[in-house]
């Protein structure tokens, strides 16, 4: 056969693809840092692995094993996540005494439990909401409805949702509430369906649902949750980070550490 031309060397459609059946022989990049993790909830590790490809994360089954490992296997930090605030500080103080040369950080992070039919939830809608979404939600009620209540602190979204509902059926009566307290008053009108935003100031949607479900007259009103978050991918919830170091924190390091931590808190998610 004649030697291939320059073009044929680089562009040739007649090639055979073989699927790899074994891992590549190229070695994985070395980890740059190591942390030891004890997590009571079991929720934290997937989130950490997703954002820390260059960090070796050693997950421990209990706090005792975590401390023993921290003594024998040097790590950049020991992370402790507990389900209850009351149990966090005793663990941090214990860790500080056992491994005084390792920074220990504590959290109370856990997944927010998903609301279900037992909470009076008929359906979930994720923003942006379409007219077809609203029609489907109304059909799910399973009976004719006359009055709908929209509870959302976003004025523009409330107005948009009301227009979309009336475009589906102009005979409906649609009332709106800008917060949970106003909604509690409008609940007395016994709407046939409630569209509810979970993220509201002062009293959020979950707290409003709890109050609604305590009233036997209101408990049976179906609720459609409208949220910017996919209910199947709820973020971890928590509002505190506690750091301890057995050897003490030098004043000259305190400001820099505080500013670096504050900068991370202010970063958009």
Same structural domain, 131 and 41: no
Among 146, 169, 134, which Cα is nearest to 221's? 146
Q: What is the per-residue burial (b if ≥16 Cβ within 10 Å, else e) of 255-265?
A: eeeeeeeeeee
Answer for the pair 43, 109: CB distance below 8 angstroms, yes or no.
yes
Same structural domain, 158 and 197: yes
Same structural domain, 188 and 143: yes
Answer for the pair 78, 95: CB distance below 8 angstroms, yes or no.
yes
Same structural domain, 41 and 149: no
Alpha helices in 73-179 (DSSP H): 85-98, 131-140, 155-168
Q: What is the mean pLDDT of the chain?
A: 85
DSSP notation for 163-232: HHHHHH-TTSEEEEESSHHHHHHHGGG--SEEEEES--SSS-HHHHHHHHHHSTTTTTS-EEEEESS-GG
- Three-state DSSP at 61 gives coil
Rounded Cα gap, residues 236 and 231, in angstroms: 12
pLDDT at 88 (0 to 100)? 93
Domain that holds residue 94: 33-111+236-266
Into how many domains does the chain fold?
A: 2
Q: In what order do the strands lie in the sheet with 33-39?
A: 55-60, 33-39, 77-81, 104-107, 241-244
- Three-state DSSP at 242 gives strand
pLDDT at 236 (0 to 100)? 63
- The H or E element containing residue 140 is helix 131-140
The CATH number that applies at residue 101 is: 3.40.50.2300
Answer for the pair 191, 148: CB distance below 8 angstroms, yes or no.
yes
What are the tokens at 222? 């179906």
Among 233, 191, 225, which Cα is nearest to 208's? 225
Rounded Cα gap, residues 186 and 202, in angstroms: 18
Same structural domain, 162 and 207: yes
Q: Which residues of the chain have pLDDT under 50?
A: none
Same structural domain, 261 and 196: no
Among 118, 110, 114, 75, which Cα is nearest to 95's? 75
Rounded Cα gap, residues 102 and 243, in angstroms: 11
What letter does residue 231 receive in the DSSP assignment? Answer: G
pLDDT in tens, 214-248: 998 899 999 999 987 665 555 566 778 899 999 98
Same structural domain, 133 and 222: yes
Rounded Cα gap, residues 195 and 136, in angstroms: 13
Same structural domain, 82 and 137: no
Residue 27 lies in a domain: no
pLDDT at 21 (0 to 100)? 65
User: Cis peptide leading into 3, omega within 30 of 0?
Assistant: no
């Amino acid at each position: 056969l004649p030697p291939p031309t320059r073009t044929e060397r680089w562009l040739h459609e007649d090639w055979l693809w073989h699927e790899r059946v074994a891992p590549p022989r190229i070695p994985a990049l070395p980890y740059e840092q190591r942390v030891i993790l004890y997590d009571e909830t079991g929720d934290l590790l997937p989130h950490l692995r997703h954002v820390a490809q260059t960090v070796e994360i050693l997950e421990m089954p209990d706090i005792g094993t975590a401390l023993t490992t921290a003594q024998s296997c040097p790590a950049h930090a020991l992370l402790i996540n507990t389900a209850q605030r009351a149990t966090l500080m005793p663990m941090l103080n214990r860790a500080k005494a056992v491994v005084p040369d390792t920074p220990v950080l504590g959290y109370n992070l856990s997944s927010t439990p998903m609301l279900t039919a037992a909470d009076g939830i008929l359906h979930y809608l994720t923003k942006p909401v379409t007219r077809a979404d609203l029609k489907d939600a109304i059909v799910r009620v399973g009976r004719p409805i006359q009055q709908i209540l929209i509870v959302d602190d976003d004025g523009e979204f409330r107005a948009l949702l009301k227009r979309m509902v009336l475009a589906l059926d102009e005979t409906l009566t649609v009332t709106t509430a800008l917060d949970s307290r106003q909604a509690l008053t409008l609940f007395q009108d016994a709407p046939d369906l409630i569209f509810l935003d979970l993220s509201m100031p002062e009293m959020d949607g979950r707290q409003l649902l709890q109050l609604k479900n305590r009233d036997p007259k209101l408990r049976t009103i179906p609720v459609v949750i409208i949220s910017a978050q996919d209910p199947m991918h709820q973020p971890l919830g928590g509002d505190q980070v506690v750091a301890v170091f057995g050897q003490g924190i030098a004043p000259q390091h305190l400001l820099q550490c505080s500013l670096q931590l504050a900068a991370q808190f202010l970063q958009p998610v």
